[in-house]
Amino acid sequence: MSLFIFLTVVQAIVAALLVIVILMQKSEGGGLGVGGSPAGFMSARGAADFMTRMTTILATAFVVLSITLAALAVGTTSSREIDTSLERVAPVQNAPAADPLAPAQGGQPAVTPSVAAPAPAADPLGGSAAQ
């Protein structure tokens, strides 16, 4: 179990580094290596090539760690038995709810207080509100 936790921490560090390296790269509009010339290796693009290599290395490490962690997770959970300690119990029959329209104990129907609608505001100029 400690190997699983160690690899999970390593994967989190690799993921954070991958995000940082990707965000540090210069946006050139030519995604996925499209464009560019072979003579670019000898120019100021050397730093960008380093960032590209770091991105490739970190992305490969992330994928390998993901596959390894998935294989470890399957190996540790496949030997467990299904927990049946929480079996379903038949629902308890509750008493029926009181009908609000049924007559109350005094013989009169139950009446709920209603909210009165507010009166229309008076027109300060003396005219009617609804014109």
pLDDT (0 to 100) of residue 91: 63
Q: Give the integer Cα–Cα distance in Å for 42 and 2.
A: 46
- Residue 83 gets which letter from DSSP? -
Q: Which residues contact 55 (CB under 8 A, 6 or more apart)?
A: 18, 21, 22, 25
User: Which amino acid is it at 101?
Assistant: L
33: three-class secondary structure by DSSP: helix
pLDDT (0 to 100) of residue 83: 67
Q: Give the integer Cα–Cα distance in Å for 35 and 117.
A: 71
What is the share, in percent, of the chain residues with pLDDT greater than 70? Answer: 44
pLDDT (0 to 100) of residue 104: 58
Tokens representing 115?
């909210």
What pTM did the predictor assign?
Answer: 0.48
Q: Which residues contact 109 (CB under 8 A, 6 or more apart)?
A: 101, 102, 103
Q: Which of 24-33, 56-65, 91-100, 109-118 has the highest mean pLDDT?
A: 56-65
pLDDT (0 to 100) of residue 61: 96
